[in-house]
A and B are shown apart, each in its own frame.
Chain A
Amino acid sequence: MSIFSRFFKRRRYEDLSASIREHLESRTEELLEEGMSRKQAERAARREFGNVALMEQRGREAWQWKRLESLLVDLKHIGRRLRRSPGFAVVVILTLAIGIGANTAVFSVLNSVLLRPLPYPEPEQLVSLHLNAPGAPGLGEFRSELRLSASMYFTFAAHNRTFQSLGVWGPGTASITGLAQPEQVNTAQISGGVLETLNVPAFAGQWLTAADQDSHALGRVMLGYEYWQRRFGGDPGVVGRTISVDSQPRVIAGVMPRGFKVVNYNFDLLVPLALDPVDEALAGFAYRGIARLRPGVAIPQADADAARLINVWMDSWTNGPGSDPHWYLRWKITPAFQPLKDTVVGSIQAVLWVVMGTIGVVMLIACSNVASLLLVRADARQQELAVRSALGAGRWRIARELLLESVTLGLLGGAFGVAVAYGGLRLLTAVGPGQLPRLSEISLDGWSIAFTLVLSVLSGLFFGAIPVLRYVLLPQRVAFLGAMRTASAGRERQRGRNLLVMAQVAMALVLLISAVLMIRTFLAMRNVDPGFSDPASLQVMRLTIPETMVPDSTTVVRMQNSIIDKLAAIPGVTAAGFAASVPMSGAEPSWNEILVEGKIDEGDNPPMRLFNFVSPGYFHTAGTRILAGRDFNWTDVYGMRPVGIVSESLARELWGSPGAAIGKRFHEWESMPWHEVIGVVQDVRENGVDQISPATVYWPSLGKGIFGPGIQGAWRSLYFAIRTNRAGTQTFINEMQQAVWSVNSNLPVADISTMQDIYADSMARTSFTLVMLAIAGAMALLLGVIGIYGVISYAVTQRTREIGIRLAMGAQRGELQWMFVRSALLLTAVGVAIGMGSAAALMQWMKSLLFGISPLDPLTYLLVPLVLAAAAGLASYLPARRAAAVDPVVALRAE
């Protein structure tokens, strides 16, 4: 605004005042002529004229651009007032910055992980081919779905009416040799249709084609972006080069772009599955399926289409001569396709919503504290407001100013909150579960900023509305010119703040209860015997000997055996062994039904059992107790003796007790020789401590028939477990690698970790939730205590005079203290009562996150209120002590 127009505006305003003055005086004179006294006439003229100030303002507003000017004036006042009370401003802005920042950080995670679409073109068309098999007993103990078999893929791909494309894939590993040191890389083995479904173009070179899926040729491979950068320095000339994958020469067809994943799997190498329909049977449920729906097709239609195709599948394939292809009708295979996003996000969804809700409640508590402070400020300004309103300020005008002040505070808090959120996000992704899906996509984006803005304004309006309601829109009386000065009517004045404190206590209680329930869950999980001991001293690594390197299965086992011997010879190692899968690693060796000798009455649909393949000494190394019988020995292995070990739960289910199981016999199918149970081991929590231990059969890793009837084979991709107090140290890892290379210098070692890391990973979801809820609970408790302290402290200040009178009349100091503490405890009690009810209702939402504890755990519901009451008592005792220290003479003289 130029000085000129400013000058003119001021003159215009003065003109207006001149007109109004003249008007009033003329009217007064007229009334004087009618015979009124001067005083009466002036008053009558004023009354007729109405609100001068308001009219002047209206007149001015005619010149203002959409009232912006008066808004600017208000803002200037607000700025001035805040500068005059920097302590108040800093406390409020800091509280809001932390509250809003925490909310923005969590929202950013929520948005990036749950809300933002997947980074593929038209992601809403993508589905994962999830199949349920409710009729396959036991499968649910270790699998959440029935994976697709290759024959299903062929059937679906050829006959579906609802998909543009579909494909199957699975994670795998390959050793790359000839580049540097031999390296084990993560591969995604994909069928045709996977790249077409995800539809992300290659970054360099081209996609794998149908020719690469020919099982009789050696198809090309594609590189993942990070692997390309890491191993090839981003050299665009790699396309067309040949690398040695599992000792086979493979041509690089292209490179996928940065951030591209197959569903949620981050691969180094894309390898064609090269399935051959000639080799495939009905069974072999090993692959994950994904598909792209045709435009306009909904998931239920696709489900119906696939349900039809399941029948086609059974009509067109077989499990071999003499088998009944319609046997699978018993499993009741039902398509339950889900949006690909649900598969990617997985079980973290519940956690993120709970954390978001929790942080939101913390924000509410913070807002209540700010509202409480604003009430005190408005209280102090009550006279000013009363005077202004008497001088003609419109109610809305005052309300607007108060709200503008609180929204300004909110926005300032929000601005700092973005900085807090930025830091919080760093922290969150650091402490968040390692397998948090889409971790790399998490960022503060436009939506987060918009969220911050909305939250700032809303919270500003929320905590601003409370003093506005109290003092402007529902003024209880005209508190004019110190009419209140000597009164001690704190009760009514305190009512707003009391309500806020009760709400705070209730919210804090809910958060504390949820935090304590999570702690109890964590402890319950820690108390579960996972089926292995002392995970910190258990070193784990993975090693694969591909068939292309060592074709003969007995030679493979001999190599694996000598690797164990070399590992066991490292100083500090007490035991070593291997298994196809170690607990909680996510490896999925195999599963099937078993037929038990003498139990034909089990019906024709026996339960599925999890299979694992272990070396002699593995149980001893892992610390899995042998409850009956004995472990495998190398004679069993090399002699391919028909022996097996079963888990305790399986032994109890089939034979009643571990002891009774020894000597009993079972096999996987008719043509397999009976295998004798030589040992029973304790149950192992294969899928995490909060999951049940599946009934498991342990086989030797070498045998006739472990890969199908009559096929002799050895398990080639193994986890080695090494018991040593040097686990996890770099020197030990180096020695471990040297030990492996002394057996074969082309063997890469992968997935080096301690069992403790794997164990912690499986608890990550719970510990993440625990940390977040504990932080939220602590913040809530702190804010609640500050709230109670503030209210009592203010009450003491307000009632100093009353206290003085009481003391002068002979009241005991102890009684006075108790009076204040009691009022705080009363507020707390009401808050606790409300909070208990809310918690009981809300904890049902957390059920899926709890383990080994009821959402209504009595101990928690008893303990938390007691802690809260103690904190409230303390928070009120401090200001109450000050009340008792009042000198009656000073107090009475104070006014």
Chain B
Amino acid sequence: MAKNTERRDLFPGALEIMILQSLLLRPMHGYALVKHIQQVSDDLLQVEEGSLYPALQRMLREGWVESEMGTSAKGRPTRIYRVTDAGIRHLEAEVASFERMYTGIARVLAFAKA
């Protein structure tokens, strides 16, 4: 499904972190999530639809997000996703572990340069 094979894959769980973080700001529907992540990352990250919707379904199943019927900005019916308490806890745990990993990687890279 990759449209651009040169783009590097996200590590496992990264998509979920970004979705949860974005939904912390405000509840959003799917397309808005795609747009939001793209804009905030200055087009560096592009969420593929092929991954987004299955990921949302998985997160619904895990109870990290919940959804309700709502309307989009254009007034069409769609699903609005919202973070749950469990989702916030998961996000915190994931972010903490991601930061540890990032720090680790940064140190190794710095050491290699020195």
Contact = CB atoms under 8 A, between A and B. Distances in A.
A38 interface: no
B79 interface: yes
Interface string B58-99: 101100000101001010111100000000000000000000
Size bracket, chain B contacts: 20 to 34
Contact of A25 (B34, B53, B76): B76
Contacts of A729: none
Interface in A19-60: 19-23, 25-27, 29, 48-51, 54-56, 58-60
B55 to A, nearest CB: 8
Given A12-B60, A62-B54, A62-B61, A19 B49 contact: no
A460 to B, nearest CB: 31
Given A22-B30, A22-B31, A22-B72, A55 B49 contact: yes
A22 B77 contact: yes
A376 B29 CA distance: 48
B12 interface: no
B78 A19 contact: yes
A63 B3 CA distance: 27
A55 B50 contact: yes
A15 interface: yes
B89 to A, nearest CB: 21
A372 to B, nearest CB: 37
A22 B3 CA distance: 21
B50 A19 contact: no
B1 A50 contact: yes
Given A15-B67, A19-B30, A59 B61 contact: no
Nearest to A23: B31
Given A19-B29, A48-B3, A50-B1, A59 B74 contact: no
A16 interface: yes
Contact of B57 (A18, A26, A54, A63): A63
Query: Per DSSP, are chain A's interface residues mostly helix, strand or loop, or mixed?
Result: helix
A18 B72 CA distance: 11
**Chain A CB within 10 A, most for which of B54, B57, B67, B74:** B57
A59 B53 contact: yes
B74 A15 contact: no
Contacts of B79: 15-16, 18-19, 22
A686 B76 CA distance: 99
B77 A55 contact: no
Interface string B30-48: 1100100000000000001
A55 B74 contact: no
A16 B29 CA distance: 11
B21 to A, nearest CB: 20
B27 to A, nearest CB: 13
A392 to B, nearest CB: 12
Contacts of A58: 50, 53-54, 57
Interface string A478-506: 00000000000000000000000000000
Contacts of A19: 29-30, 53, 56, 78-79
Contacts of B77: 18, 22
B77 to A, nearest CB: 6
Contacts of A61: 54
Contacts, number: 76
Give the one of A12, A27, A59, A63 with max B CB within 10 A: A59
Contact of A27 (B1, B31, B58, B78): B31
A345 B25 CA distance: 80
A18 B78 contact: yes
Contact of B49 (A12, A23, A62, A63): A23
A20 B50 CA distance: 10
B53 A20 contact: yes
A27 B31 CA distance: 8
Contacts of B61: 62-63
Contacts of A22: 29-31, 72, 76-79
B74 A29 contact: yes
A22 B60 CA distance: 19
Given A12-B60, A50-B1, A63-B61, A26 B72 contact: yes
Which has the most chain A C-beta neighbours within 10 Å: B3, B30, B49, B56? Answer: B49
B114 to A, nearest CB: 44
B57 A59 contact: yes
Contacts of B56: 19, 59
Contacts of A20: 30, 49, 53
B49 A50 contact: yes
A63 B54 CA distance: 10
A50 B77 CA distance: 22
A54 to B, nearest CB: 8
A16 B57 contact: yes
A31 B39 CA distance: 17
A721 to B, nearest CB: 87
Contacts of B72: 22, 26
Contacts of B34: 23
A625 B20 CA distance: 105
Contacts of B74: 25-26, 29
Interface centre among A12, A22, A58 (most CB of B within 10 A): A22
Contacts of B76: 21-22, 25
Contact of A59 (B48, B54, B78): B54
B57 A49 contact: no
Interface string B3-37: 10000000000000000000000000111001000
A50 B50 CA distance: 7
Which of B50, B53, B76 has the most CB atoms of chain A within a 10 A radius of its CB?
B53
A593 B7 CA distance: 93
A384 B3 CA distance: 28
Contacts of B1: 50-51
Given A16-B79, A56-B53, A62-B58, 12 more contacts: A19-B30, A19-B53, A23-B30, A23-B49, A27-B31, A48-B49, A49-B49, A55-B49, A58-B53, A58-B54, A60-B57, A63-B61
| 10 nearest A-B pairs in the assembled complex, by CB-CB distance | A22-B78, A62-B57, A58-B54, A23-B31, A59-B57, A26-B31, A19-B30, A62-B58, A19-B79, A15-B79
14 contacts: A15-B69, A18-B79, A19-B53, A19-B56, A20-B49, A29-B74, A48-B49, A50-B48, A51-B1, A55-B54, A58-B50, A58-B54, A59-B56, A60-B57
